Copies of this chain bind each other. A is one copy, B any other.
Amino acid sequence: MDLATIVGVLLAFGAIIGSMIMEGGNPAAIIQPPALLLIFVGTTCASMASTTIPSMLGSFKWLIFAMTAKPPDMNAVIEPLVKMAEKARREGLLALESEMESITDPFMKKGLQMAVDGTDPDDLWEILTAEVKSKKAAATNGASFFNDAGGYAPTIGIIGTVLGLVHVLENLSDPGKLGHLIAAAFIATLWGILSANVMFLPFGKRIKLVGMAEASRMELIIEGVLAIQAGANPRVVATKLKSKMVPTGPAAPAEEAA
């Protein structure tokens, strides 16, 4: 479980509250029920109107998955595949049947099982690749609810501020309350921007990132399963799989190894 999203959101709220306290303000001033209702209900509804109900529910499932899932460990994929390749080369493809129990990754299990069952390599490639494509499409769909919300929230915040200012402008008779009313009007803009930049947009980006990492892991597995089925040299399989790993920093594996 990678805590970047949860920690990031909490620390960002902390920075906002901290900066308010440093300026001598009262953080409770931003808790305005009408603004919160407008921004969170209004934004969610605008996003909901942009999609269908199953698709919206899927987005919430993706959010939970993206926040709690362990990022895929590519090395944990390569190692068992190379071991399988060695066994298949030595003892034949059918010998993998006995190893099937030890594989915990369901996609790798499915692929190897199909290989052991004698599925045609073209069919195998087509079926597994279609699942990768579906995974990518699902991640894009899953992120779109939050991307949409990140686009709607700031403008719905402006709606709240305009509504507040209209209310102020039609009640100019009591100048003593003006400052407080105008302040309240701006809280809607605040929450619109805040929810978009500290919650909705990061959520959408995280879902996309986690989904694409999943798809990369699946592509690595396909590569490995097809090589095992073709009886490739385990050393070449390892080199090929490593060359397809995307490093997180500027140094590619080739350069580190050199």
State the A residues within 8 Å of B (CB): 2-9, 11-12, 14-16, 18-20, 22-25, 29-30, 33-35, 37-38, 41-42, 45-58, 61-62, 65-66, 69, 71, 106-107, 109-110, 119, 123, 126-128, 130-131, 133-135, 137-139, 141-142, 148, 151-152, 154-156, 158-160, 162-167, 169-172, 178-180, 182-184, 186-190, 193-194, 196-198, 201-203, 205-206, 209-211, 214, 236, 239-240, 243-255, 257-258
Nearest chain-B residue to A241 (Cβ)?
A: B130
A-B contact pairs, 17 of them (CB 8 A): A2-B53, A4-B56, A12-B42, A15-B42, A15-B45, A22-B33, A49-B206, A50-B205, A52-B209, A54-B248, A57-B249, A58-B248, A62-B249, A128-B243, A130-B244, A131-B243, A165-B183
Interface of A is mostly: helix
Query: A11–B248 contact, CB under 8 A?
Result: no
CB distance from A17 to the nearest CB of B (A): 10
Bound Cα distance from A5 to B148, whole angstroms? 14
When distances are taken between beta carbons in the complex, the residues of chain B under 8 Å from A138 are 246-250, 252
When distances are taken between beta carbons in the complex, the residues of chain B under 8 Å from A6 are 49
When distances are taken between beta carbons in the complex, the residues of chain B under 8 Å from A245 are 134
Query: A159–B34 contact, CB under 8 A?
Result: no
Query: B190–A179 contact, CB under 8 A?
Result: no
Nearest chain-B residue to A154 (Cβ)?
A: B155
CB distance from A170 to the nearest CB of B (A): 5
Query: B134–A162 contact, CB under 8 A?
Result: no
CB distance from A223 to the nearest CB of B (A): 9
Query: A23–B106 contact, CB under 8 A?
Result: no
